[in-house]
Chains A and B, each alone.
Chain A
Amino acid sequence: MINAFLISFRLRIACRVNGILYWLKRLPLLRRILPGSLYGAGWLKTAATILAAQWELFSFFFGKILYLAVFFGPALALLHSERDAAWGGTFLHIFLFLTLAGALFNNPIFSADANTYYTVFLMRMDARRYALSNYVYFLLKNLLGFAGVLTPAWLLSAALLKEPADSPWWILLLPLLAVACKLIAAAGNLALFHRRGILLNDLSGGKPYFALLFLLLLAAYGLPCLGLIVPGAVLLVLCCILILVAVPAVLYLHRSRDYRRVYQAYPYAAAPAQAVQQAVQQGYQNKLVLEEGQGSQHSGCAYLNDLFIQRHRKMLVRRPRRLALILCGVLAAALLASALSRDLAAEINQRLIRTLPSFLLVMYFINRGETITQIMFFNCDHSLLAYRFYRRPQVILELFRARLRTVISLNLLPTAVIAAGLPLLLLVSGGTERPVEYPLLAGSILTMSVFFSVHYLVLYYLLQPYTAGLEKKSPAYAALTGVTYLVCYFVATRLGSLMSPLLFGVVLILFCAAYLPIALLLAYRLAPKTFRLRQ
């Protein structure tokens, strides 16, 4: 079993090192410096394995510290303003429900990836050995990680509160509870698969699965808000029961011979990375809509683009419509609140114009430029770029123009609600002494939307990041989309607050007035050369 784990661990590290090397070798300067023979360098793989083992050791504890800091720290600080022993009970309550959620959502016994494919299917390692050895390792990490972190946490709480928050026995019980819950969930899932062929995971579970997660989170954080927590005695009994039930679960997991079948049933286990993208493409194609009456009065690229939009209506049009409706609802609620409560109206009025910079982030998330271009590639350009007639400069540019109009108009629907809604809300909540703020609000929001629409389409045409195998392989594209987010975040949260809203709006509009023509000019000049299938 240990041997099986070590083989799969080494393979995973080798894949990761090769992946990093491949990525580095696509960078302009490093491409020439790094020799191809590095892939075969044994010393590199050994060094990486040692480093990875050290990282694993570190992540044992670091992951748990992060978990406690993120999921418990803020909640405990909000729920208990005073330092007293009561927070120990709240901690145990939250821990119980998050552990139940974790048993369903962070339980990777059956999750298959490229490594599973290589190890189980290509190298024919016994699937049971592979699954169990990796799972035992995962559980040990949890057990030791929790024990290692809860001990100092308990000592710290005892020092801070001048008295221990709870019995030190919990330090032993809680890690066992976490592991027991995962084992029971895994055995239950395997039994369900054995009897009915159903494998529950976040991919196949769909909405009910996420509803359950929501309920567990609600119980974890909502009940303490109402002053309700699971009493310590009940928790203790529950712990003991779950730990006892975990024993037959372990036996069942150990005896089962279904693991290979489980991996075969897993949607992405059948092939490595490309299969994920092919599954995404298949998903897009399954949503195509062919109906009577679809057609176009246009010809050429505009005709192609019209049909593309009509056939992809479910993916491209429905979501902006829904979003626009939701935004209408939010706007109506805000307008109603302003009309009913003078205090609230004053609050909204005071904050509205000041929050203009943060709408840059809102517009970033509303804009679907990246998704739209992905659908364009997967369902259209991936195939047509193989034909030379489609790569003629005039065809590329004609289609670019048609698409630009489409992307802007698709993003414009929810944008229009915000652009019209914000000035209206400003007016209803008490108005402003500077009337220029009304058009400024609307103009800024529209500008942001057009900016993101153009930006992503131009990036797509200039860097076309996808390969013929549907993988996204362009470090430059990844870097630029990452930088786009960071810049938006920085401007929305820091830079924007340093300027007056009026100045921010003007600077934004001027920036876009300069950026957009340059971006379009670049696309017109370069796209005929850059819009190609990556080999």
Chain B
Amino acid sequence: MKLVISEMRKSFDKKEVLRGASFTFEQGRIYGLLGRNGAGKTTLFNCLNEDLRADGGSAFLEDEGGRRPLSCDDIGYVLSTPVLPEFLTAREFLRFFLDINRGRVPYPKEPDVYLDYMQIDPEDRGKLMKDFSHGMKNKMQMLVHFIADPPVLLLDEPLTSLDVVMADEMKQLLRRRKETHITILSTHIMELALDLCDDIVILHNGALSPVEREHLDDAAYKDRIIAALKEEEND
């Protein structure tokens, strides 16, 4: 399976943020999307998730059966600041989620099974989510996307505000799932991108382009990425 982005364009007033961005993301790989501040990473994610309407271009999934446009069920978008209905408890949120996704979630289980999987303390499961820490909220947000299991997962700065233990848990989870999914994460943290991602894609001047690793070690690869990002300034 492949996620094909073709000639995607988006402008705000006269500022062209995406200028015909095209790229093919493949299943089984984690992509690190890097770009300078304001390069348009969040805009690209918002366009893919239909939070913003793109001015032009398209995005579709391609597999043995052919091509089909992205649908609501194909994308999971994990926000950098998790937002949850704070008036619900973790169990209630999952129950509501499972209710309205009946028939869509393969082999649905009881909410507690999922909460066990995410290592949410049993004592916290009956608390209102407004009292959850940032990390726990992040876990809950991630969990509903894992349960919905969309083929494409977009993560916007996913691990920056987590403590080291929780960040490590999340990394393990993403690695475990990567074989069957297309995972794209945007980040400013080079170390995270190098550690977790199989490929680095740069968004600069409104276009997507890969930074080939070839046989470079981490330090040399890092220099190449920074050089590619600096090209933007020199263009």
Interface contact B75-A300, CB-CB below 8 Å? no
Interface contact B96-A300, CB-CB below 8 Å? yes
Our pick among B46, B86, B99 for the contact of A300 (Cβ within 8 Å) is B99
| Contact digits for A378-416, partner B, Cβ 8 Å, 1 yes 0 no | 011011101111011001001000000000000000000
The answer, yes or no, to whether A441 is at the interface (CB within 8 Å) is: no
| Contact digits for A508-535, partner B, Cβ 8 Å, 1 yes 0 no | 0000000000000000000000001101
Our pick among B92, B100, B127 for the contact of A301 (Cβ within 8 Å) is B100
Task: Kindly specify which of B76-84, B188-196, B214-222 makes contact with the partner chain.
Answer: B76-84
Who on chain A is nearest to B15 by CB? A36
Chain A residues, CB < 8 A from B99? 299-300, 303
Interface contact B13-A36, CB-CB below 8 Å? yes
Interchain CA distance A532-B50 in the complex, whole Å? 10
The answer, yes or no, to whether A307 is at the interface (CB within 8 Å) is: yes
Interchain CA distance A453-B218 in the complex, whole Å? 61
Who on chain A is nearest to B96 by CB? A304
Interchain CA distance A301-B95 in the complex, whole Å? 11
The answer, yes or no, to whether A500 is at the interface (CB within 8 Å) is: no
Who on chain B is nearest to A32 by CB? B13
The answer, yes or no, to whether B38 is at the interface (CB within 8 Å) is: no
Interface contact A388-B84, CB-CB below 8 Å? no
Our pick among B77, B86, B95, B127 for the contact of A388 (Cβ within 8 Å) is B77
The answer, yes or no, to whether A308 is at the interface (CB within 8 Å) is: yes
| Contact digits for A293-304, partner B, Cβ 8 Å, 1 yes 0 no | 000000111011
User: Which of B50, B72, B87, B100 counts the most A-chain CB atoms under 10 A from its CB?
Assistant: B87
Our pick among A35, A288, A386 for the contact of B130 (Cβ within 8 Å) is A288
The answer, yes or no, to whether A285 is at the interface (CB within 8 Å) is: yes
Chain B residues, CB < 8 A from A290? 89, 127-128
Interchain CA distance A114-B50 in the complex, whole Å? 32
The answer, yes or no, to whether B123 is at the interface (CB within 8 Å) is: no
Our pick among B51, B87, B89 for the contact of A312 (Cβ within 8 Å) is B87
Our pick among B72, B79, B88 for the contact of A389 (Cβ within 8 Å) is B72
CB distance from B66 to the nearest CB of A (A): 23
Interface contact B95-A288, CB-CB below 8 Å? no
CB distance from A462 to the nearest CB of B (A): 18
CB distance from A500 to the nearest CB of B (A): 48
Interchain CA distance A36-B12 in the complex, whole Å? 10
Considering only residues 274-329 of chain A, those with a C-beta below 8 Å from chain B are 285, 288, 290, 299-301, 303-304, 307-308, 311-312
Chain A residues, CB < 8 A from B46? 535
Interface contact A383-B75, CB-CB below 8 Å? no
Chain B residues, CB < 8 A from A532? 51
Interchain CA distance A96-B138 in the complex, whole Å? 58
Number of interface residues of A (CB under 8 A): 30
CB distance from A400 to the nearest CB of B (A): 14
Who on chain B is nearest to A532 by CB? B51
Who on chain B is nearest to A308 by CB? B87
Number of interface residues of B (CB under 8 A): 33
Chain B residues, CB < 8 A from A301? 100
Interchain CA distance A387-B97 in the complex, whole Å? 10
Chain B residues, CB < 8 A from A535? 46, 51-52
The answer, yes or no, to whether B106 is at the interface (CB within 8 Å) is: no
- Number of A-B pairs, beta carbon distance below 8 Å: 72
Interchain CA distance A532-B49 in the complex, whole Å? 12
CB distance from A26 to the nearest CB of B (A): 12
CB distance from A442 to the nearest CB of B (A): 35
Interface of A is mostly: helix
CB distance from B70 to the nearest CB of A (A): 10
Interface contact A303-B87, CB-CB below 8 Å? no
Chain A residues, CB < 8 A from B85? 304, 379-380, 383-384
CB distance from A279 to the nearest CB of B (A): 15
Who on chain A is nearest to B83 by CB? A383
Interchain CA distance A35-B15 in the complex, whole Å? 12
| Contact digits for B87-117, partner A, Cβ 8 Å, 1 yes 0 no | 1110010011101110000000000000000
Query: Taking A388-B49, A533-B51 as contacts, is the C-beta distance between A285 and B86 under 8 angstroms?
Result: yes
Interchain CA distance A304-B75 in the complex, whole Å? 23
Chain A residues, CB < 8 A from B14? 35-36
The answer, yes or no, to whether B148 is at the interface (CB within 8 Å) is: yes
Chain B residues, CB < 8 A from A533? 51
CB distance from A239 to the nearest CB of B (A): 53
Interface contact A303-B95, CB-CB below 8 Å? yes
Interface contact A392-B130, CB-CB below 8 Å? no
Query: Taking A36-B13, A300-B100 as contacts, is the C-beta distance between A379 and B87 under 8 angstroms?
Result: yes
CB distance from B36 to the nearest CB of A (A): 21
Chain B residues, CB < 8 A from A304? 85, 88, 96
Our pick among A383, A392, A395 for the contact of B84 (Cβ within 8 Å) is A383
| Contact digits for B51-70, partner A, Cβ 8 Å, 1 yes 0 no | 11000000000000000000
CB distance from B58 to the nearest CB of A (A): 18
Interface contact B83-A386, CB-CB below 8 Å? yes
Interface contact B87-A388, CB-CB below 8 Å? no
The answer, yes or no, to whether B144 is at the interface (CB within 8 Å) is: yes
Chain A residues, CB < 8 A from B49? 388
Interface contact A307-B87, CB-CB below 8 Å? yes
Interchain CA distance A124-B200 in the complex, whole Å? 41
Our pick among B51, B72, B97 for the contact of A392 (Cβ within 8 Å) is B72
CB distance from B214 to the nearest CB of A (A): 37
Chain A residues, CB < 8 A from B101? 389
Interchain CA distance A188-B44 in the complex, whole Å? 55
Chain B residues, CB < 8 A from A380? 85, 87
Our pick among A307, A379, A389 for the contact of B100 (Cβ within 8 Å) is A389
CB distance from B193 to the nearest CB of A (A): 24
Who on chain A is nearest to B71 by CB? A388
Interface contact B128-A288, CB-CB below 8 Å? yes
Top 9 closest pairs, chain A to chain B, by CB: A383-B83, A311-B87, A36-B13, A300-B99, A299-B99, A388-B72, A300-B100, A304-B96, A386-B83
- 18 other A-B residue contacts (CB within 8 Å) besides A299-B99, A311-B87, A312-B87: A36-B13, A36-B15, A288-B87, A290-B89, A290-B128, A304-B96, A307-B92, A380-B87, A383-B83, A386-B77, A386-B83, A387-B144, A388-B76, A388-B77, A389-B72, A532-B51, A533-B51, A535-B51
A-B contact pairs, 20 of them (CB 8 A): A35-B14, A36-B13, A288-B130, A300-B96, A300-B99, A301-B100, A304-B85, A304-B88, A304-B96, A311-B87, A311-B88, A383-B83, A383-B84, A383-B85, A386-B77, A388-B72, A389-B97, A389-B148, A533-B51, A535-B52
